[in-house]
């Protein structure tokens, strides 16, 4: 530890603006403590004398007329490491609200995500069988939010909610005001996220018109499943198309005839919800098919390379003729986000030629979620 003249310490607005300022009471308490005990924690500076951490202590020292302050030189050349040092120091030393911790965590998250991209671009680190490992961006982003959340003492989910709130606050002044209250400690991150979720649901009601009228022999449905959490707003399902809570999906009155069959697209993590939806729509589960993709996707336990198509019937709907029964597994390339392969259309048309069909929630025309490919999938 060293001591340095106050006038010899350089300032950097980028570092001073990283952390929230103390309240009036906190600042006055700090000044009293410095008067009685001096500066206990030295100010952190770079080798060229730029202040990293200790802007409030420096301000108090100036007001108290001190000429010299204790300093500790930090040998950090990388800008990201300097930012990490400032954030870590404040998280450890200060009493921060959960929202303030989240704001610091989001800064760290951006740093970690950039590092993940660089690791991907350079081939990553580590070897397996003598060959370098190359982590995917999805893996990198998953690790990034875990690292950032742990460093600020929050859960993975809380930091994810904060990211969603921050994105919503960019265009919604109401959310912005509520988030500022959370930063001041007047409410929790979760309370503000509930507001964001409620407003999102209100938009969804407008995004999805009622199902079409009529009765169809064959329903092909790809519900806009809502996921509890995504590693970042830009990578979330809702960033690509409007999603819908499972309860709302179950409550839909689908246009199936009294005797009809349902082909229901269900991602592997949503299998339980898929069976619940099928039951709520009045269809009894019979079997399922599997779409095997050519590219691997995301996943927390196993990275997905397939998707399920649950098959259920209502009333008296016979199986297809023996020579029209397809294999339970079919392969087709993955294209745009959530877009499903036309291969299933062809399989269904061979299973039940000439029947009255409709596709619900077709992804090709997002402004018209219920528009399908006509009444005949051939």
pTM of this prediction?
0.55
DSSP alpha helix (H) spans, the chain: 13-16, 24-37, 55-63, 79-93, 98-122, 137-151, 156-169, 173-183, 189-207, 246-251, 271-280, 343-351
Q: Which pLDDT does position 135 carry in this prediction?
A: 42
What's the DSSP call for residue 235? Answer: G
Instruction: Give pLDDT, residue 172.
Output: 93
Asked whether residue 374 carries a pLDDT value surpassing 80, the answer given is no
Lowest mean pLDDT among 30-34, 123-127, 173-177, 178-182: 123-127
Name the pLDDT band for 112 (thresholds 50, 70, 90). Answer: confident
- pLDDT of 4 > 60? The answer is yes
Close Cβ partners of 43 (under 8 Å, ≥ 6 residues apart): 9, 51, 53, 54, 57, 58, 69, 70, 71, 72
User: CA nearest 225: which of 256, 269, 262, 181?
Assistant: 269
Q: In what order do the strands lie in the sheet with 43-45?
A: 2-5, 68-73, 43-45, 51-53
Per-residue model confidence (pLDDT) at position 26:
86
Going by pLDDT thresholds of 50, 70 and 90, the confidence category of residue 366 is: very low
pLDDT, residue 364, reads: 59
Average pLDDT in the chain? 83
From 101, 60, 52, 59, select the one nearest 80 (Cα to Cα): 52
Domain 2-78 has CATH 3.90.1530.10: yes
pLDDT category at 377 given cuts 50, 70, 90 is very low
Domain spans of the chain, in order of start:
2-78, 98-205, 211-360
Please compute the mean of the pLDDT values over residues 266-286 and round it to a whole number: 97
Does the pLDDT at position 359 exceed 70?
A: yes
**What's the whole-number mean pLDDT along residues 219-231?**
76
pLDDT at 334: 82
In angstroms, the CA 120 to CA 135 distance is 6
> 211-360: what CATH class?
alpha beta
- The C-alpha atoms of residue 302 and residue 305 are separated, in whole angstroms, by 9
Mean pLDDT over 250-270 rounds to 95
User: Would you give the end-to-end CA distance of the chain in angstroms?
Assistant: 78
pLDDT of amino acid 204:
67
Q: Round to whole Å and give the CA distance between 202 and 294.
A: 36
CB burial string 135-160: b at 16+ within 10 A, e below: bbbbbbbbbbbbbbbebbebeeebbb
Q: Tell me, what's the pLDDT at 187?
A: 92
pLDDT value at 131 more than 50: no
Q: What is the pLDDT of residue 371?
A: 43
Q: What average pLDDT does range 8-23 have in this prediction? A: 84
More confident residue, 131 or 178: 178
**Percentage of the chain surpassing pLDDT 70?**
83
Confidence of residue 120 (pLDDT cuts 50, 70, 90): low
SS3 content of the chain, % helix, strand, coil (to 5): 45, 15, 40
How high is the pLDDT of residue 124?
Answer: 53
Is pLDDT above 80 for 39? Answer: yes
> What's the pLDDT score for residue 36?
93
SS3 state of residue 329:
strand
Q: Give per-residue pLDDT as tens, 81-96.
A: 888 888 888 888 778 8
Identify which has the larger pLDDT, 337 or 239: 337
Long-range CB contacts for residues 305-310, cutoff 8 Å, separation at least 24: 306/268, 307/265, 307/266, 307/267, 307/268, 308/265, 308/266, 308/267, 308/268, 308/271, 308/274, 309/263, 309/264, 309/265, 309/266, 309/344, 310/262, 310/263, 310/264, 310/266, 310/274, 310/275, 310/278, 310/285
Say if residue 237's pLDDT is above 60. Answer: no
Find the mean pLDDT for residues 210-218: 85
Looking at residues 64-81, what average pLDDT do you find? 89
């Amino acid at each position: 530890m060293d001591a340095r003249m106050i006038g010899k310490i350089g300032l950097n607005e980028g570092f001073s603006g990283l952390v929230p300022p103390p309240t009036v009471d906190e600042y006055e308490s700090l000044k009293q403590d410095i008067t009685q005990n001096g500066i206990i924690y030295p100010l952190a500076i770079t080798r060229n004398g730029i202040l990293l951490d200790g802007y409030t202590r420096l301000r108090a020292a100036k007001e108290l007329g001190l000429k010299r302050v204790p300093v500790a030189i930090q040998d950090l050349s990388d800008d990201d490491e300097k930012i990490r040092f400032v954030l870590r120091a404040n998280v450890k030393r200060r009493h921060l609200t959960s929202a303030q911790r989240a704001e610091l965590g989001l800064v760290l998250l951006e740093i970690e995500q950039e590092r993940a991209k660089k690791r991907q671009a350079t081939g990553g680190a580590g070897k397996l069988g003598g060959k370098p490992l190359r982590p995917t961006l999805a893996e990198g982003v998953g690790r990034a939010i875990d690292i950032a959340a742990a460093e600020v003492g929050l859960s993975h989910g809380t930091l994810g909610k904060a990211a969603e709130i921050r994105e919503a606050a960019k265009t919604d002044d109401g959310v912005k005001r509520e988030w500022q209250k959370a930063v001041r400690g007047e409410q929790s991150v979760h309370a503000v996220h509930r507001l964001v979720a409620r407003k999102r649901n209100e938009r969804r009601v407008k995004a999805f018109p009622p199902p079409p009228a009529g009765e169809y022999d064959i329903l092909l449905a790809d519900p806009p499943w809502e996921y509890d959490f995504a590693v970042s707003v830009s990578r979330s399902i809702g960033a690509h198309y409007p999603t819908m809570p499972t309860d709302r999906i179950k409550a839909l009155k689908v246009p199936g005839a009294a005797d009809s069959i349902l082909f229901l697209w269900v991602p592997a993590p949503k299998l339980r919800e898929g069976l619940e939806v099928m039951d709520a729509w009045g269809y009894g589960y019979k079997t399922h098919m599997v779409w095997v993709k050519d590219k691997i996707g995301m996943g927390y336990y196993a990275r997905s390379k397939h998707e399920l198509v649950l098959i259920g019937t209502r009333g008296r709907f016979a199986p297809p003729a023996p020579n029209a029964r397809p294999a339970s597994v079919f392969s087709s390339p993955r294209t745009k986000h959530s877009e499903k392969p036309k291969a299933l259309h062809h399989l269904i048309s061979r299973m039940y030629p000439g029947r009255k069909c409709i596709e619900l929630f077709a992804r090709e025309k997002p402004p018209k979620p219920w528009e399908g490919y006509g009444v005949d999938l051939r």
